[in-house]
Amino acid sequence: MLTLSNISKTYAGNVVALNDVSLHIPRGMFGLLGPNGAGKSTLMRTIATLQEPDTGAIQFDDIDVRNDKSALRRTLGYLPQEFGSYPRTSADAMLMHFAALKGLHGTHRTQAVERVLLQTNLWDVRKRSVDKYSGGMKQRFGIAQALLGDPRLIIVDEPTAGLDPAERRRFQNLLAGIAEDRVVILSTHIVDDVAELCPTIAIMGRGRVLKAGDPGKFMADLQGKLWTRIVSKRDEEGIRGNHAVVSSRFKGGGIEIRILADTPPEGMDPAQPDLEDVYFTTLIEHGIGEPVD
Ligand code: ADP
Ligand code: MG
């Protein structure tokens, strides 16, 4: 289990990126949701010991992370948001190199590389140069390098940005498969990435944790408070003036709006809450507003 206590970070220019963040992150997949600028990458880099917070403590199982960075690094797999450029080297040669950096040698190294190539479904293309890989293959390669050395903590920061729907689904399944007995933290601004996969989530906004826990419970909390209707563009404006609109999207030649209200608004049907409703209502509650697609 990973425990963050009162982590804060202010960048030069008085940019408050993390504002007293405390979180308990259990084994399995953990989804960290938040709009751009929420502080997700700062938090991921801080846990990965790549940068220091101004205040706060981080404990991973028996490791006091801020006081024993090397112990954390030995059991960490990290896929940063920006991986940088990919050299014109084959996937297996690069993984052999990364494996050596992680302290693996001899047959241990060869076997570890084989295992992660198979796990990420890259075995058949292992001789191909990584810079020629598709977006989805590059991200799977990123997971392959993160898995080397069998880390107990894996951090992946916005891994599905730029993937097509089929690649995204495949990548989500890969993550779910490796999460069984490790802590896997997936940061994303895409609700769909965490909706099916993560038994525990946190929603961040403006450097704070706005909500953390069981997404099923958050959806149940909205039960009976969410209403929907398909309206015309002209009607939408009037409705926005009178109701708390959670989201709106084009559908069936009109606009499907979703509204938060304790009693049924005139002419509206009850809606089944989903995680996107949880995300939008949480941001709205904290004055962060409806994110634009
Ligand atoms: P997210 O990953 O959720 O988009 P970030 O952690 O990247 O959020 O950024 C949080 C805030 O900190 C933003 O306002 C961002 O502009 C700022 N920020 C991030 N990195 C730096 C940096 N190295 N120096 C100054 N400001 C930064
Ligand atoms: Mg980020």
Q: Tell me: the pLDDT tens digits for 264-273?
A: 988 899 999 9
The number of the ligand 1 atom at minimal distance from the alpha carbon of 18 is: 10
Per the listing, tokens 């890989």 go with 133
State if residue 14 touches ligand 1 by the CB under 6 angstroms criterion: no
State if residue 203 touches ligand 1 by the CB under 6 angstroms criterion: no
pTM above 0.85, yes or no: yes
Q: How many angstroms is it from 121 CA to the middle of ligand 2?
A: 26
Q: How many angstroms is it from 256 CA to the middle of ligand 2?
A: 30
Residue closest via CA to ligand 1's atom 27 equals 11
Could you give the 3-state DSSP secondary structure of residue 61? coil
Residue 291 scores a pLDDT above 60: no
Q: How many residues does the chain have?
A: 293
Instruction: State how far the Cα of 184 lies from the Cα of 197, in Å rounded to an integer.
Output: 11
Q: Give the pLDDT band (50/70/90) at residue 241.
A: confident
Per the listing, tokens 């259990």 go with 26
Instruction: State how far the Cα of 230 lies from the Cα of 249, in Å rounded to an integer.
Output: 9
Residue 293 scores a pLDDT above 70: no
